[in-house]
Amino acid sequence: MTTEKAGSRGRPRSFDKDRAIETGMKLFHARGYDAVGVAELVSELGIKPPSFYAAFGSKAGLLACALERYAAGDANIFGRACAEGGSVATVIHRTLMLAAETYPEKGGVAGCLVLDGARNSSDPEAYQLAKAARTASGEAIRDFIVGEYPARADELADLVTIALAGMSAAARDGAEEAALMAFANKISRAFRREAETI
C-alpha cells in the first residue's frame, strides 16, 4: 500500500494498488478496455491522475496488471482443471465445463477478460497485451496436450481454444449456462474422437 498526501496540510490519503488492479480488472471485464477511461478509474478509486500514472504508467499498464491478476485467480479455468489431475481428455473436458459454468453473465460480467476484454481495442498496446495473454493460454493448452498426443497437439489445441473463444463471445451475447454446458459436452466428445483418430 502506498500513501499520497492531499492538500497543504499533508493529510495522508490511502491508495491501495491491489484494490486499483481489482477495480480495473472488473471494469475492463464488464465493459471492455476502450469503454473505460482514466477519469472514471481515478474517480472510482478516489485518487488523482498523477497517483494513477505513478502506479501504472498508463491505462495499458493497469490492464497488464489486471490480466496478470485474472490469470492467477479462479478465472484461470485451465489451471484449475489441471490441478485436479487426470488424462488429457479428462482435463480438457473439465476445462470446457468450467468455462460453461464461469462465462455466463454474473453481476454484470460475462465471458473471459483474456479472450474478450481488449479484442477490438483501438489501443495497440492494450491489443498486444491481450493477444500475448491469449497466446500464452493457448500455448499452455497445447503443451499439455502434447504429452499424450504429440502428433496432433496443434490441431487439438486449436479445437479447444476456438471453442473457448466462441463460448466467451456467446456468453457476452447472453448465452446461458445450460446452452454452454451442452456445447461444452459436444466439444468434449469431439475432442475425444479426434484425439483417438490416428
DSSP letters for 39-108 = HHHHHHHT--HHHHHHHHSSHHHHHHHHHHHHHHSTT-HHHHHHHT---HHHHHHHHHHHHHHHSS-BTT
Q: Does residue 173 share a domain with residue 144?
A: yes
pLDDT over 90 percentage in the chain: 82
Q: Does residue 118 share a domain with residue 64?
A: no
Report the C-alpha gap between 128 and 121 in whole angstroms. 9
Q: Does residue 86 share a domain with residue 104?
A: yes
Q: Does residue 134 share a domain with residue 187?
A: yes
Count of domains forming the chain: 2
Q: Does residue 103 share a domain with residue 19?
A: no
Distances (CA, A) of 197 to 43, 95, 104, 163: 56, 21, 32, 19
Q: Which of 9-13, 28-32, 40-44, 144-148 has the lowest mean pLDDT?
A: 9-13
pLDDT surpassing 90 at residue 46: no
Give the mean pLDDT of the chain: 90
pLDDT for position 14: 61
pLDDT surpassing 60 at residue 7: no
Give the confidence band of 129 by pLDDT, cuts at 50, 70, 90.
very high
Place of cell 473463444: 165
Domain harbouring 48, CATH code: 1.10.10.60
Domain harbouring 93, CATH code: 1.10.357
Query: What SS3 class is residue 13?
Result: strand
* Spatial contact of 96 and 188, defined as CB atoms under 8 Å apart: yes
Please name every residue paired with 5 in a beta bridge, in sequence order, or none if there are none: 12
* Spatial contact of 62 and 20, defined as CB atoms under 8 Å apart: yes
Q: Does residue 99 share a domain with residue 12?
A: no
Q: Does residue 31 share a domain with residue 59?
A: yes
The domain boundary residue, chosen from 52, 69, 86? 69
Give the confidence band of 196 by pLDDT, cuts at 50, 70, 90.
confident
Report the C-alpha gap between 102 and 70 in whole angstroms. 13
pLDDT surpassing 90 at residue 12: no
b (16+ CB within 10 A) / e for 43-57: eebebeeebbeebbe
131-180 pLDDT, tens per residue? 999 999 999 999 999 999 999 999 999 999 999 999 999 999 999 999 99
Q: What is the pTM of this model?
A: 0.87
Q: Does residue 85 share a domain with residue 46?
A: no
Q: Does residue 62 share a domain with residue 24?
A: yes
Q: Does residue 187 share a domain with residue 174?
A: yes
pLDDT surpassing 90 at residue 120: no
Q: Does residue 180 share a domain with residue 91?
A: yes
* Spatial contact of 56 and 45, defined as CB atoms under 8 Å apart: no
pLDDT for position 8: 38
pLDDT surpassing 50 at residue 122: yes
Q: Does residue 62 share a domain with residue 82?
A: no
The domain boundary residue, chosen from 34, 49, 69? 69
Domain span holding position 47: 2-69
* Spatial contact of 147 and 90, defined as CB atoms under 8 Å apart: no
The domain boundary residue, chosen from 21, 39, 69? 69
Place of cell 502428433: 151
